[in-house]
Amino acid sequence: MPHPIVQWAQIAANYRRGTILLGNGASIAVSRRFDYRSLQAHAQQNGLLADDVNDLFTFFETFDFELILRLVWQASNVNRSLRIPDDRTHQAYLNVRECLIHAVREVHPDYEQVSDHLPCMYQFLRSFDTVLSLNYDLLVYWTMTYGLDVQDGHQFKDCFRRNGAFDDAWQRFRELFRERTNTLVFYPHGSLALCRNLVEQESKIHSAGGSLLEAILREWRSERVVPLFVSEGTMQQKVSSIQNSYYLSTVYREVLTSQRITLTLYGWGLGEHDRHLLRRMRGTGIQRVAVSVFRGDQAYCNYAYQAVQDDLGRVHVDFFNSESPGCWIYPPAPELGQLR
């Protein structure tokens, strides 16, 4: 029996002030440039990987750029600190770094190319109290900064302090200060805007005017930091990377396991390599789950329904059209706009 797929407006009230989890489909809806299998595959297909870089991916049995870059960066710095002559390790680090920079620059759109979508994204995300973005890109970050100029009494908070450090007392950001409502934003797999330094201190990169993406790439080239995001890998590899990061492990241990009644999944294929995140939410009180569906895909509905029941237990599941008016990048229908 087919699962009914409704418009977002028909169920939105049931999920307001709940949690939303964004997958890669959300980014692809904004820009087709995000429609690729992996950064490593993109770099390989476009001839960006040097032979020694390919050897590193093979040796460590991973496709995760961030992991390879961090391993070679640490090895290079250990050798330099001990005054061990080793140009080859440092050159390998430079090769991996340049491959990653070129891949990100080719894949990630500029702010101006996506800015027209930000008002709709802002209105959609502000209706939730928690946003979990599995995407390493800057789309949610740009949505947050867009909201700084919207005088509607709402505030997005990512729980990073002004000095760029994550505040592990993140629950206090739920408290209202000058705003009437707020939304907390977390990146369970990290983000381009997050980095770690030589002593594993983690922080958020800021841009003092100009392009944030270019500021991030400049920081990577400075050799002071490496990026903090988990872009590829099996479930076991991703969990291991999460556990090796203070920020990611805090999100994994505390944010995902905090109490919630509703969960909305948008643009997420519920791939086996990421379902450990859903399983972390079992027992948190979820009663309803809304799942976005692209172009009426009933096969996906069947898979998603079973995955949600397996991972969360018996909960009510709604399916909604991912291109619904008022949903993500899609403007509200005229009659909905008049009701706002």
Q: Which of 135, 296, 131, 101 is nearest to 217 (CA)?
A: 101
What are the phi and psi torsion angles at 165 (to 5°)? -85, 145
Angle between helix axes 65-81 and 51-59 (nearest 10 degrees) is 100
Give the span between the Cα atoms of 330 and 322, in whole angstroms: 9
Closest CA to 25 of 133, 100, 103, 122: 133
CB burial string 84-121: b at 16+ within 10 A, e below: eeeeebbebbbbbbebbbbbbeebbbeeeebeebbebb
Residue that the structure tokens 């900064």 belong to: 145
Centroid of chain to Cα 136: 4
Place of tokens 């299998």: 37
Q: What per-residue confidence (pLDDT) applies to 335?
A: 64
pLDDT per residue of the chain (340 residues) written in tens, 0 to 9 = 789 999 999 999 999 999 999 999 999 999 998 987 678 888 888 888 878 888 888 898 877 777 888 888 888 889 888 888 888 888 888 888 888 888 888 899 999 999 999 999 999 999 999 999 999 999 999 999 999 999 999 999 999 999 999 999 999 999 999 999 999 999 999 999 999 998 889 999 988 767 999 999 999 999 899 999 886 677 888 888 899 999 999 999 999 999 999 999 999 999 988 999 999 999 999 999 999 999 999 999 999 999 999 999 999 999 999 999 999 999 998 864 444 4
pTM value is 0.91
Cβ atoms of residues 68 and 40 within 8 Å: no
Choose among 324, 188, 194: nearest CA to 252.
188
> Helices 87-107 & 212-221, crossing angle to 10 degrees?
170
Residue 183's nearest CA partner among 153, 155, 162, 144 is 155
Residue 42: predicted pLDDT: 82
Instruction: Give the per-residue pLDDT at 232.
Output: 66
Sign of CA dihedral 318, 323, 326, 328: positive
